[in-house]
Amino acid sequence: MALPLGYIEDTSPPQCPVTGCATILLAEDEEDVREIIKVTLENSGYSVIEASKGQEAVKSFRDQATSIDLFLSDMVMPKKKWHGCLSRNKGD
């Protein structure tokens, strides 16, 4: 019968996930929240286009639609309802 020689604890740091390479349009009206999300995404390798207002997000999307891979938004932004907004503006 073979018994293990002993238990060796793995003390190596956890593996980080693979970094991203996409461009994300981030629409968030609260500056502190937007900054935390932006820094987190950029530290993970993503490019971030920021918008603090709904109209600013729509303009950024219109101007850079072909380079934006993901739209990440606060669903409750002053003066903007997102439902169908960006799909109409993309020109599809």
- The first and second tokens of residue 61, run together, are 């999307």
Q: Is residue 18 one of the residues assigned to a domain?
A: no
The domain tally of the chain equals: 1
- The first and second tokens of residue 47, run together, are 């490019």
Q: What is the pLDDT of residue 92?
A: 46
How far apart CA 7 and CA 33 sit, in angstroms, is 44
Domain enclosing residue 32, as ranges: 23-90
For residue 60, the tally of other CB atoms under 10 A from its CB is 18
Q: What are phi and psi of 29, to 5 degrees?
A: -80, -20
Say whether pLDDT at 87 is over 70.
no
- The first and second tokens of residue 84, run together, are 């169908």
> For residue 65, what is the domain's CATH number?
3.40.50.2300
Nearest alpha-carbon partner for 72 in 39, 49, 40: 49
pTM above 0.85, yes or no: no
Q: Is residue 34 one of the residues assigned to a domain?
A: yes
Q: Is residue 8 one of the residues assigned to a domain?
A: no
